[in-house]
Structures are given as structure tokens and as C-alpha cells.
Amino acid sequence: MLKLDEILQGVKRAGIAGHVRPDGDCTGSCLALYQYLRMYYPEVRTDVYLEEIPNSFHMLTGADEIRHELPEDTGYDVFFALDCGDTKRLGFAGTLFEQAKKTVCIDHHVSNLAFADVNQIVPDASSTSELIYDLLEKERITKEIAEALYLGIVHDTGVFQYSCTKPSTMEAAAELLRKGIDGPKIIEKTFYEKTYAQNQVLGKALLESIRLMDGKVIFSYITKKSMNFFGVKAKDLEGIVSQLRVTTGVEAAIFLYELESGEFKVSLRSKEKVDVSKVAQYFGGGGHVRAAGLTFRGTVHDAVNNIVGQVALQLEEEA
Ligand code: 5GP
Ligand code: MN
């Protein structure tokens, strides 16, 4: 088990970063650790780096202190990579990780490459936020830190719905609620609430470009042109793939959105039979058994054929 006191011994500067296109767990775990180090290790100068986060996550304390650009002095004594399986996924902060004297990775992706000096990788854990919860001294968790951890757990478990939700997850959530946080508000505001434009894009994805193959694999996509038309960004498309997944009879859901011409970000979700982390890794991506992602270069047509092909192979093996 990791010990913060040991890691931070003699440390003057600490950095924290998560994966590109930060989601709830990535943002929650990073901001929780950031607040904790700021509060209980005041002798350490701590910074947190993330790409732009969804607007609703700005309710978290410390969100406005997130750095989006590299500092002049890139030398950190220790650098934490959270919820991230490889250096490349750290995006612009990868440089800071590579130049740090010591590196630590805390993560729950099965595809994690154990790329740091110290690695705490627990693929069974619901979320990186639950791992950070385990790492922190419980009595030192403030209400603001609890909000960040709760948000992270809520997002990676789909509001305690997915099979990654363990008794330990519920125990952590209960303890966080005891810190006085407004749990329902975090769920409503950061998970369920969608803007009008987001609902319109969801409608488009569920109606126009949707395809159901053999009743088992469901697929849809959104082009850059549509994103511009509705005025939405990549971070506004969260949730579409989950809506595809809940379709009766479906084993795997595939959702694509265009990053730039000829390049697509792909989200994969599954119910019981398909290990989507294997599918993602086949195409150079990664993730979890039930939720994974990758970047695909080619046409939508190529993407459907290739990715559905990989999913179908697994379904055939199962049959
Ligand atoms: P999402 O579909 O929500 O973007 O991602 C689902 C899961 O797969 C997340 O845990 C995310 O970190 C992981 N993931 C998504 N895209 C990639 C990718 O390109 N590479 C790797 N290694 N993991 C990814
Ligand atoms: Mn996560």
C-alpha cells in the first residue's frame, strides 16, 4: 500500500495530472489529491494539470486552479499520474511526468502499462477516486475533498449501477456522504443534467446515424460538422454511448465522434459478453472490460467494419 508521507518526504514540488479529455473520475481524483496535498502538506508546492473539464465539474473546489499549460520550470520532485494507463494519455502534461525526479501512478485500467516508478494499479477498483479515498486518512477528508471523490465514484460506476460497484465502493460513498456533501446534487448536476444542445445531439445520434447489427451490436456517430452546427464540444458527448448500450438485446455499443477529418474518437461499452478493453487494445486504445476507448483513423465505414468485426469475433467465441 502506498504511503503519502513516504512519497512526499523531502519533496518541494509535486505535480498531478490525469488523462486527456478528463472525465468525472479523472477530474475528481486529481482535484481530491490536489486539495489534500495543498491542505496537509503546505511545505510542498503542488500543481494540478488537466485539459478543459466539463462545465458542470467547476462546482468542485480547486477546479479554477487547474493548469492547462506547461509551466516555465518543468522540474517536479514527484509527479502523480491518476486514472491514466500510459504516458501518452497524459497529453500535454506527459512532458512534466517524464522530467520528474520520481513518478507515481494510481489507476484502475486493466490496460495500464505500470509506467511509473511507483505503481498502484487495481483493475478491480470501481474508480481511481475510490483508490484515492483508500490512500487518504479518513478523518482528514474535508467536505470539499469528499465532493470530488464522490463525483469521481458516481461517474465511473454510472451512479452505482455498473458491476465495478463493490461493497467497498458503497462503504466509501457512505463515508463521503457523512462529510456533509450534497450527494443528489452532485449526481443531478454533473451526471444527469444536459444542456438543450446536448439533448439535440443525443437525439440526432439516436435517430439518424444509428445502426443495429444482428440485434446485438449497436453503433452511431456524430460528425465534426454536426458538432459545430449544434455548438457542442467532445466533452459534451458523454452519455450518448451509455444510452446506446441500454438498448434491449444489445451486447456492445460503439459510438464515434470526429476529432478532425479522417480521425475518430471511439467509445465502447458492453453488457456481459464482450470484453471491450480487448477490442480497444487491438486498435491501440485501452480502458476497462465494460468501458473502453480508442482513436480510429479512416472512414466511418472502415470504423464500423473493423470494430464491429472485432466485437463479432468475441460474440462468436462466446456462442
Ligand atoms: P470513454 O469512452 O468514456 O472516452 O472511455 C472509456 C474508458 O476507456 C475510460 O476509462 C478511458 O480512460 C478509456 N479510454 C478511452 N479512450 C482511450 C484511449 O484512446 N486509450 C486508452 N488507453 N484508454 C482509453
Ligand atoms: Mn476512471
What local confidence, expressed as pLDDT, does residue 157 receive?
97
> Which pLDDT band, with edges at 50, 70 and 90, does 109 fall under?
very high
Q: What are phi and psi of 133, to 5 degrees?
A: -55, -45
Based on the fold, state whether residues 159 and 185 are members of the same structural domain: yes
Based on the fold, state whether residues 29 and 177 are members of the same structural domain: yes
Per-residue pLDDT, averaged over 230-236, amounts to: 95
What local confidence, expressed as pLDDT, does residue 296 receive?
97
291 lines ligand 1 (CB under 6 A): yes
111 lines ligand 1 (CB under 6 A): yes
Based on the fold, state whether residues 314 and 211 are members of the same structural domain: yes
Per-residue pLDDT, averaged over 232-255, amounts to: 96
Distance of alpha carbon 170 from alpha carbon 93, whole angstroms: 32
Q: Which residues form the domain of 206?
A: 196-318
Q: Is the pLDDT of residue 193 over 80?
A: yes
What local confidence, expressed as pLDDT, does residue 161 receive?
94
Last residue of a domain, one of 171, 192, 213: 192
Are the CB atoms for 264 and 296 separated by under 8 Å? yes
The rounded Å distance from CA 238 to ligand 2 centre is 14
pLDDT in tens, 210-220: 999 999 999 99
Based on the fold, state whether residues 21 and 143 are members of the same structural domain: yes
C-alpha cell at 46: 503542488
N residues, the chain: 319
Q: Tell me how far the alpha carbon of residue 11 is from its chain's centroid.
A: 28
Based on the fold, state whether residues 226 and 291 are members of the same structural domain: yes
Query: Measuring CA to CA, which residue among 225, 227, 234, 295 is closest to residue 51?
Result: 234
Query: CATH number for the domain including 308?
Result: 3.10.310.30
C-alpha cell at 116: 511509473
Beta strands in the chain (DSSP E): 13-17, 45-49, 78-82, 102-107, 118-121, 211-213, 217-222, 252-260, 263-270, 286-287, 291-297
Q: Is the pLDDT of residue 20 over 80?
A: yes
Last residue of a domain, one of 155, 176, 192: 192
Distance of alpha carbon 71 from alpha carbon 244, whole angstroms: 41
Per-residue pLDDT, averaged over 249-275, amounts to: 96
Query: CATH number for the domain including 160?
Result: 3.90.1640.10
> Which pLDDT band, with edges at 50, 70 and 90, does 318 fall under?
confident
Last residue of a domain, one of 192, 221, 244: 192
Based on the fold, state whether residues 121 and 46 are members of the same structural domain: yes
Which ligand 1 atom is at minimum distance from the Cα of 255?
2
Ligand 2 is an ion; its neighbours by CB within 5 Å are 25, 83, 128, 156
Q: What total number of domains does the chain contain?
A: 2
Are the CB atoms for 3 and 69 separated by under 8 Å? no
Based on the fold, state whether residues 266 and 141 are members of the same structural domain: no
Per-residue pLDDT, averaged over 38-50, amounts to: 98
294 lines ligand 1 (CB under 6 A): yes
85 lines ligand 1 (CB under 6 A): yes
